Amino acid sequence: MAYLQLKNVEKRYGDVRVIKGVNLTIEKGEFVVFVGPSGCGKSTLLRMIAGLTDIDGGSIELDGRDITKLASSKRDLAMVFQSYALYPHMSVFDNMSFALRLANVDKAEIQEKVNRAAGILNLTQYLSRTPKDLSGGQRQRVAIGRAIVRAPKVFLFDEPLSNLDAALRGQTRIEIAALHRDLGATTIYVTHDQVEAMTLADRVVVLRDGVIEQVGSPLELYDRPANQFVAQFIGTPQMNVVDTAKLPALAGLLGPNNKQDGFIGVRPEYVVVKPAGAGQIEGKVELVESLGADTLIYSRVGTKDQGAQIVSRQNHRTELRPGDPVGLDFVPEAFHVFDRAGKAMQAHAR
């Protein structure tokens, strides 16, 4: 039996359905990430699990117990918010121990649990400080520590890194992954950043307009997207997706017996830029992004009205400049084919 189970969960605001019958099972110890664009319902769904937002339909079960109507304080969950939500007048120790003190936990046990969490999060030397004396990353670790000391059945993270700068996001992401390995705790993590989803998750839940588009491991979603939306949402830079009507030469690479009417997708790493005249399809460079270890080359194939922009990722540097003619080679075995509705089809590469 699943550890956490959502059965046909719904949420409405007036006549608008924002969560549309979500079904999901999460196993004990899993790290599951909800990802999707702004407004897709990922934070609303998390708040429904937490008991902070009422459920208008369906049910939620945790460890065999129906928690649908339980108050948030009775669900045995701990939530880490985007805004830290620390008490500014309290020390780090008092912030981390606050819930335990409210529950009248023995002082010796509180001391032990806070010290253990502080040790895990490298906060021991900051226990007597107040939040104003901490960096953003340290404040976020205090918020995580406050959740750890409660020893909940499920940790809930609502975009916890969005207030941090790029360097701190990367470091804190590593710390959260290590924390999950050390604690083995069931974790649900909400983010709009698909890089966080790919690097943290055991399984990723991709949402759009209150509906789950696909659930799977990060590489399953990357290699076998169920539709065009997932294909282009997962991966940086996003998958090239080309209308076969605008670039029939690309569809022709699938072989003469493949008369596809829809879209062909190909990841940038499967597009090779060659000298003009040497590739399967001719193009012209529009932009070069030199990132150090990687180089992204954006090329225009055909015209703006009848053609497409194709991005290639390569791990070597280039002397190409905008306006240079190039040839593009593709790997048809790596093509993804989508019908006009955006649903994935079998490519039947030659």
109-164 pLDDT tens trace = 999 999 988 988 889 999 999 999 998 888 888 988 898 898 889 999 998 888 77
Note whether 225 and 243 are same-domain residues: no
Note whether 85 and 202 are same-domain residues: yes
Note whether 284 and 205 are same-domain residues: no
Note whether 12 and 87 are same-domain residues: yes
User: What single string gives the DSSP state of each residue in 51-112?
Assistant: TSS--SEEEEEETTEE-TTS-GGGS-EEEE-TT----TTS-HHHHHHHHHHHTT--HHHHHH
Note whether 288 and 337 are same-domain residues: yes
Q: Does some domain include residue 15?
A: yes
Note whether 276 and 226 are same-domain residues: no
> How many domains does one find in the chain?
2
Q: Does some domain include residue 271?
A: yes
Note whether 57 and 12 are same-domain residues: yes
Q: Does some domain include residue 350?
A: no
Q: What is the pLDDT of residue 1?
A: 58
Select from 182, 211, 231 the last residue of a domain. Answer: 231
Q: What is the pLDDT of residue 189?
A: 95
Q: With a cut of 70, list the residues of the chain below it in pLDDT.
A: 1, 256-260, 346-350
For CA atoms 1, 71, 203, 171, the dihedral sign is: negative
Q: How many CA atoms lie within 13 A of 24 on its CB side?
A: 30
Note whether 225 and 272 are same-domain residues: no
Select from 199, 231, 263 the last residue of a domain. Answer: 231
Q: What is the pLDDT of residue 12?
A: 95
Note whether 145 and 28 are same-domain residues: yes
Displacement of CA 159 from its chain's centroid (Å)? 10
Is the CB of residue 81 less than 8 Å from the CB of residue 160?
Answer: yes
Q: What is the CATH number of the domain that holds 84?
A: 3.40.50.300
Note whether 213 and 277 are same-domain residues: no
Q: Does some domain include residue 208?
A: yes
Q: How many CB atoms lie under 10 A from the CB of residue 208?
A: 18
Select from 231, 248, 272 the last residue of a domain. Answer: 231
Note whether 274 and 209 are same-domain residues: no
Q: What is the pLDDT of residue 259?
A: 64
Q: What is the CATH number of the domain that holds 316?
A: 2.40.50.140
Note whether 222 and 250 are same-domain residues: no
Domain of 330?
238-345
